[in-house]
Amino acid sequence: MTVTIVGSQLGDEGKGGIVDLYGDSADIVVRYQGGDNAGHTVVHDGETYKLSLVPSGVVRGTTGVIGNGCVINPETLFEEIDTLRERGLEPDVRIAARAHVIFPYHRVLDGIEEEAKDDLAAGTTGRGIGPTYEDKAGRRGIRVGDLLDSDVLRKRLEYAVSHNRALATEVYGIDPGEEFDAEHLYETYRGFARRLENEGMVVNCGEFLSSKIDAGATVMLEGAQGTAIDIDHGIYPYVTSSNTTATGAPAGTGLAPATIGDGEIVGIVKAYLSRVGTGPLPTELGRVEGQTPADGGDREASDTATYIRDEGGEYGTVTGRPRRVGWLDMPMLRHAARANGFTGLAVNHLDVLAGLEEVQVGHAYELDGETLHSMPPTTEQWGRCSVVTKTFDGWPEFDPVVENGYETLPAAARTYLEYISEELSTPIYAVGVGPGRTETIVLEDPF
Ligand code: IMP
């Protein structure tokens, strides 16, 4: 049986906490897309773990698989594994032989392409994610399985480096460093390959997972980022380069679509919006210079933005930069519920909104005289949408007694949750009322 966890908004919905919570009942936790752009925080036994590539379930001793739909930076992989080991854990991590490898030249190109794009820049994480997926689609990528064969690696590198070096020097006019030196890369990546082999980490992902499921294993598929930054269904071009939706799960693991579809698909919803990156955001409160478009954001609402940002700790973990915040966007959620086929919802960070006199949501959009209940297909149209809001009574700060279940929540907070559930015709499985593992009210365990 599988349970797929998907972000329903723009990433950072708190998927890690839900994966950690439900992951108890899973034998295997799998990532199916993305790479080390997916910063997630897991709090376990009072310890905080920050991971960006390794599936968060490994913190609890579950086998973690990085599927073929992912792009893997071996340096990050080993750093994360080593850090977990230093902290007394024994992470069991398997890597798909078909997953693509991020090379240093991808990271260099990510930076210079972003600079060159100006207004079209997505505000990427700079980890080389996009250029690696570009090479994958351009059939010049190098996969984990290729690292293990020295002749294949040498041959593939020759072509991939010559292509990317020409791009860097002839198109962007940069002076290439060792990131574009095929011999240096060969030696370094053969070193990574030896470690992958010695530790028996490389698997044929689809077969590995199918055989475990046939033997009765339960599998959790952990989506990274969110639906609105899916390469196909998101706000292109301000998106990441993979299918973050449940659609990505079969392609990115080698499991059959029916296997995923027969299981549960849980949408993770943050009780408000937060955004790292550029592009329009119709329900945005206040502004973040450098990210909010010139005509975007509600300048009058900067105090509310600051309140939510402070209560929710909405500042970049590495940079400390404020994140963009906004009211919950229901057309975005309706789009996500349809595209993913959610069977349940986990609503996080409900505590962050406590203390506000009133809480608004973007209930619908108006565009060219029409009312829309879902996102329009182009980002230019989305940017022109004005928001039809709905106002709810706020709820006071509360001291959640999680064991008392749903009833522990203030009545106004329950009204807000019930509205979300009804609008999306999807039951609520869990409500996050704080960052810790014990601060989630569980109404339903999908396993
Ligand atoms: P990339 O994935 O680094 O190529 O970045 C592409 C877009 O996705 C940018 O707007 C990033 O800010 C956004 N993004 C990537 N990963 C995350 C994430 O884990 N949370 C939120 N946004 C993300």
At 315, which CATH number? 3.90.170.10
Nearest to 34 by CA among 6, 62, 57: 6
Residues 91, 149, single domain; the answer is no
Q: Which residues contact 395 (CB under 8 A, 6 or more apart)?
A: 353, 354, 359, 409, 410, 411, 412, 413, 416
Helix 104-117 × helix 150-166 angle, to 10°: 20
| Class of residue 400 by CB neighbours under 10 A (exposed 0-12, middle 13-18, buried 19+) | buried
Residues 305, 405, single domain; the answer is yes
Residues 230, 314, single domain; the answer is no
Nearest to 424 by CA among 351, 352, 348, 330: 330
- Residue 123 in contact with ligand 1 by CB distance below 6 A: yes
Which atom of ligand 1 is closest in space to residue 35's alpha carbon? 2
Residues 275, 156, single domain; the answer is no
Cα of 183 vs centre of ligand 1, distance in Å, is 31
Ligand 1, atom 20: closest residue by C-alpha: 11
- Residue 129 in contact with ligand 1 by CB distance below 6 A: yes
CATH code where residue 219 lies: 3.40.440.10
Residues 149, 186, single domain; the answer is yes
CATH code where residue 127 lies: 1.10.300.10
Q: pTM of the full predicted structure?
A: 0.96
Over the chain (447 residues), the average pLDDT of each successive run of 10 is 97 88 92 92 83 90 96 98 96 98 98 89 92 98 98 98 98 96 98 98 98 97 96 96 98 98 98 92 95 92 96 83 96 98 97 97 98 97 97 91 86 98 98 86 95
Cα of 35 vs centre of ligand 1, distance in Å, is 10
Strands 386-393 and 358-367, sheet pairing: antiparallel
Q: Is 40 tagged catalytic?
A: yes
Rounded to whole angstroms, the Cα distance separating 305 from 287 reads: 8
Q: Which residues contact 306 (CB under 8 A, 6 or more apart)?
A: 286
Q: Which of 41, 106, 113, 125 to mutate to test the pocket of ligand 1 (most atoms within 8 A of CB)?
A: 125
Residue 321 is given by DSSP the state P
Which residues pair with residue 393 across a beta bridge?
358
* 308 occurs within a structural domain: yes
- Exposure string of 223-255, with b = 16+ CB inside 10 Å and e = fewer, is bbbbbbbbbebbbeebbbbbbbbbbbbbbbbbb
Give the pLDDT of residue 318. 65
Rounded to whole angstroms, the Cα distance separating 141 from 132 reads: 7
* Contact by Cβ (8 Å): 62, 19: no
Ligand 1, atom 10: closest residue by C-alpha: 277
Which atom of ligand 1 is closest in space to residue 127's alpha carbon? 3
Q: How many domains does the chain have?
A: 3
Cα of 150 vs centre of ligand 1, distance in Å, is 33
Helix 411-424 × helix 330-340 angle, to 10°: 50
Give the pLDDT of residue 435. 79
The owner of tokens 């933005």 is 305
Cα of 226 vs centre of ligand 1, distance in Å, is 9
**Domain termination site, one of 196, 226, 254:** 196
Domain extent, residue 354, equals 269-442
Rounded to whole angstroms, the Cα distance separating 302 from 407 reads: 33
Q: Is 232 tagged catalytic?
A: no
* 447 occurs within a structural domain: no
Residues 64, 106, single domain; the answer is no
Cα of 125 vs centre of ligand 1, distance in Å, is 6
The owner of tokens 């906004």 is 326
Residues 296, 274, single domain; the answer is yes
Which atom of ligand 1 is closest in space to residue 34's alpha carbon? 2
Residues 346, 438, single domain; the answer is yes
Residues 430, 351, single domain; the answer is yes
Give the pLDDT of residue 317. 67
Rounded to whole angstroms, the Cα distance separating 215 from 447 reads: 16
Alpha helices by DSSP H, listed for 167-290, are 182-198, 205-214, 248-251, 257-261
Rounded to whole angstroms, the Cα distance separating 190 from 355 reads: 55
- Residue 73 in contact with ligand 1 by CB distance below 6 A: no
* 309 occurs within a structural domain: yes
Q: Which of 276, 288, 291, 292 to mutate to test the pocket of ligand 1 (most atoms within 8 A of CB)?
A: 276
- Residue 122 in contact with ligand 1 by CB distance below 6 A: yes
- Residue 426 in contact with ligand 1 by CB distance below 6 A: no
* 241 occurs within a structural domain: yes
Rounded to whole angstroms, the Cα distance separating 248 from 257 reads: 10
Whether omega for the bond prior to residue 257 falls within 30 degrees of 0, making it cis, is: no
Residue 290 is given by DSSP the state T
Point out the catalytic residue in the list 20, 36, 40, 146: 40
- Residue 326 in contact with ligand 1 by CB distance below 6 A: no
**Domain termination site, one of 236, 266, 296:** 266
Residues 252, 374, single domain; the answer is no
**Domain termination site, one of 170, 196, 222:** 196
Residues 296, 420, single domain; the answer is yes
Residues 301, 430, single domain; the answer is yes
* Contact by Cβ (8 Å): 285, 353: no
Output the CA–CA distances (angstroms, integers) from residue 377 to 3, 139, 236, 329, in the order listed: 28, 28, 9, 16
Strands 344-348 and 47-51, sheet pairing: unpaired
